[in-house]
Each structure stands twice: as structure tokens, then as C-alpha cells.
Amino acid sequence: MDHIRVPLVTPGTRPELAAIESRILAERGRISLLYQVLLNSAPIVTGWEAMLTAVRNRTGVPADLREMVILRVAVLNDAAFEFDAHVPHALKAGFAQHKIDALREAIPGEVFNEEERLLLELTDRMTRDVKVPSELMDRINARHDPQGVVELVATVAAYNMVSRFLVALNISH
């Protein structure tokens, strides 16, 4: 197994990063391996933290659905670090273990309700194909107001960014 492809920044070792490290600690309670990599670039870690905090903590997307989407993106992009990091969040949000397990299936089964299946379809299309068919977006728009649509699409898009970053830099443990 290859090692992480850039050096880690040990928190507290670069005074110019103290403010962003404080924000990360305030939002997340710790500076994870991912953030130790991101700290190599102050502008990227600052923007990343703002965007991902908004996606995870400031939208109206219910926590269980958000975590379901994040886990599905991780499965589709083979981002084990992301998957493992979000299982506890999914469980805490009330997303059942048998549903977490079902997300690993090529086509998630009937354990999911109608809303979950719709969001999994959106997640799969955005992640695998990038383009989302009009018919699918019509069904999303019929169930969600514009703010909800933007927040759902942003969640899928943001976690595709996360997983692709993790995989490219071999952040896997």
C-alpha cells in the first residue's frame, strides 16, 4: 500500500495556520488526517472547511439522508476512509446498519424508502455519469423546494470532491 502522497502538517507547528486550526477544532472536535493533509494549503483548507461545514452542518438536508448520500458516494468512488469516517455519523443520525450495509450493493435494494431510493438514484447518476437526466431532476424538483434541491445536489457534489481528493492522495487510514 502506498503512503499518503503529501506530507502531513502537524497541528500547532505552523503559527500562520492557528486560526484555521481553531475553526476546524471548533467545528469537528479534532484535526483529522484529511485536515492534516489540507493544512498544506491555507487557502484550500480555509475554503474546504467553510464549504464542508455548510454542507454538513448548515443545510436543511436531514442528517440521516445526508449521511446516506455521503456513504453512497464513498462506495461508488472506492473511498474507504470516507466511508469508515461517516458510518458513526450515519448511525448517530438514526440510519440503520442494514441500510449502511445495503449501500455497498451495485443497485441498493428494497430496504430503502421512496425518498431514499430517489436520493440514491440522484447520487448514483451524479457520481457515475455526472449528467442527471431531466426526468430524474423533475422528480427531485417535485419533492423538494429550490433550496432543498440545491442543498441535495451540493451534498453529492461536495462529497464527490472529498472522496476524489482522498483517493488521489491515498488517504486511506
Domain boundaries defined on the chain = 15-57, 63-168
Sign of CA dihedral 65, 70, 73, 74: negative
Place of cell 422528480: 139
Q: What is the pLDDT of residue 103?
A: 97
Under CATH, domain 63-168 is a member of which superfamily? AhpD-like (1.20.1290.10)
Provide the pLDDT for residue 107. Answer: 84
Give pLDDT, residue 23: 95
CA distance 8 to 4: 8
Tens of pLDDT along the chain (173 residues) come to: 469 999 999 999 999 999 999 999 999 999 999 999 999 999 999 999 999 999 999 999 999 999 999 999 999 999 999 999 999 999 999 999 999 999 999 888 789 999 999 999 999 999 999 999 999 999 999 999 999 999 999 999 999 999 999 999 999 86
φ/ψ region of 112 (left if φ > 0, alpha if ψ in -120 to 50, else beta) reads beta
Q: d(Cα 147, Cα 144) in Å, to the nearest integer?
A: 8
* pLDDT value, residue 139: 98
- Residue 33 is predicted with a pLDDT of 94
pLDDT for 110: 87
DSSP string of the chain, one letter each residue: -PPPSSPPPPTTS-GGGHHHHHHHHHHHSS--HHHHHHTT-HHHHHHHHHHHHHHHHTSSS-HHHHHHHHHHHHHHTT-HHHHHHHHHHHHHTT--HHHHHHTTSSS--TTS-HHHHHHHHHHHIIIIIS---HHHHHHHHHHS-HHHHHHHHHHHHHHHHHHHHHHHTT---
